[in-house]
A and B are shown apart, each in its own frame.
Chain A
Amino acid sequence: MDSSDMTAGKPIITMRQVDKWFGDYHALRGIDLTVSQGERVVICGPSGSGKSTLIRCINRLELHETGEIVVNGELMDDTPGKGRDIGMVFQQFNLFPHLTVLQNCTLGPIKARGVPRAEAEATAMAFLEKVRIPEQAAKFPSQLSGGQQQRVAIARALCLSPKIMLFDEPTSALDPEMIKEVLDVMIDLAGSGMTMICVTHEMGFARTVADTMIFMDQGAIVETGPPEVFFTAARNPRTQLFLSQILSH
């Protein structure tokens, strides 16, 4: 954590007793979670454990039924339009196929924030530089590789200067040789003091950047801790089993 940042350490996300159902299916069970400003959280767990649902509740892609979510001092209820200032990177990239890379990055700033076009384009180019693909700005997403597309998606999210970045399995849809280029960009970002919550199975990445590890199973948070403890001395047997399965190779 960047200790020179005066706001570091203050809670930016608090979730208390959050429950979420999809019909009869109990997707989140009594989630209690606090994330401080600048904290890097990595969430892992078996599929269907509620990891994605948890972060999607934070930026209101899903609405929770009971409990309280407060982000940056704002109560997250079902008012439309909440959670739009939180950056999100999706597993399937979800770039806009009918827009160029540059237009993908400037659409939000221009249409949602009213930033002048020239300024938005300058910002976008700066972030495309940061994710190391400025030369692709005029291309359409379908002309890029998966790794490049995901880096565009990261730049697109950063263009809105979000306080929080959410990553929903950003490398799961990528061919193995492209995973590293995306993780490198994420590691850079972590070094800049951004608050990040990543759902990922990349445990090497987690060891490098995470301040806090979270293990989820069946909709509940089973174990929380700093990576040094989490990877070596997990207390819960389900965590131990999961770790032994994904780390054994």
Chain B
Amino acid sequence: MTATLDDLGAAPLRPARRPRAWWQAPWVDVVQFLLLAGALFWLAWRGANAIDYRWQWSRVPAFFYREIDGEIIWGPLIWGLQVTLYIAAWGLVLTLAIGLVVAILRLSDSLSGRILSRVYLETIRNTPLLVQVSIFYFVLQPILGINNPLWTGILCLAFFEGAFASEIMRAGINAVPRGQWEASQTVGLSRAGAYRYIVLPQALPLMLPPLTGILVNLIKHSAILSFVAVFELTTEARNLIGDTFMSFEIWFVVGAMYLVITMTLSAGVSWLERRVAAKR
């Protein structure tokens, strides 16, 4: 039955929101999530014990560093990490250079330039990185006479990521509206001038966050170089496991090391993205 307005006018207001039960609060979900994660770890631990795995966590710190006579000797994991970061840093420089050249060729009016960049992109895109590494290491390295597997690896990764970098750069330039090109022409700028004063200043902020993302990918993909005996983090881990048979401890530790680095970098990228978005 419906009340009339006069009845309602006198009645006290009923609440618009129902009181929430305590189990609907967000912290309950967080606790459930942590319990679940804990259960997963417990299962993994029990699984390891079921195959009579002998945990030797106490030996792990020595893989990072040892102190001998008050002197710190860095362990294999630190060496490996250093090589991984070295690969990522130089890889990034080369990737940007390759990406820039390919992007310029793709956007140029030159027919052979467009064909070359297309062939490069399709080759990189349609073959596995592992096969590219193999071809760089077993075929190109002897042919070109590079006598350092580390640099073969860096070169290979740079060629691989360069394809993505060139796509990011091209997309950034294409994201600048057509009208900007037309306007630069009407104020008398040449094509180079239009790039320099009008287009790139607008395109660069768009490219920056995804290009930083390439650094994360370089770190992730550098692990593949363990396949050709470049002594980066994963290789060091595999060698340690070969020596000590501590597979679980070492993979957990190495996984956590990668996780920390890439998540920190990813957080940096999304911070950059937000800043760029806020400025626009």
Interface, chain A (partner B; CB < 8 A): 10-12, 14, 16-18, 34, 63-70, 72-73, 75-79
Contacts and interface: CB of A to CB of B under 8 A. Distances in A.
A162 to B, nearest CB: 17
A66 to B, nearest CB: 6
A63 B16 contact: yes
Nearest to B17: A78
Given A11-B2, A11-B5, A78-B17, 6 more contacts: A10-B4, A63-B16, A70-B3, A72-B2, A76-B16, A77-B17
- Mostly helix, strand, loop or mixed at chain B's interface? loop
B87 to A, nearest CB: 46
Contacts of A18: 16
Interface in B22-45: none
B2 A17 contact: no
Given A10-B2, A11-B2, A11-B5, A69 B16 contact: yes
B2 A68 contact: no
B18 interface: yes
Contacts of A66: 13, 15-16
Closest 10 pairs (CB-CB, A-B): A68-B13, A73-B2, A78-B17, A64-B16, A34-B5, A68-B14, A77-B18, A75-B14, A11-B5, A77-B16
B8 A77 contact: no
Given A77-B18, A78-B18, A79-B18, A17 B5 contact: no
Interface of B: 1-5, 8-9, 13-18
Nearest to A19: B16
A67 B8 CA distance: 12
A65 B16 contact: yes
B16 A14 contact: no
A5 to B, nearest CB: 15
Given A73-B1, A73-B2, A14 B17 contact: no
B16 A68 contact: yes
11 contacts: A11-B4, A11-B5, A12-B2, A16-B9, A65-B16, A67-B13, A67-B16, A68-B13, A70-B8, A73-B1, A73-B3
Nearest to B9: A16
Contact of A63 (B3, B14, B17): B17
Contacts of B4: 10-11
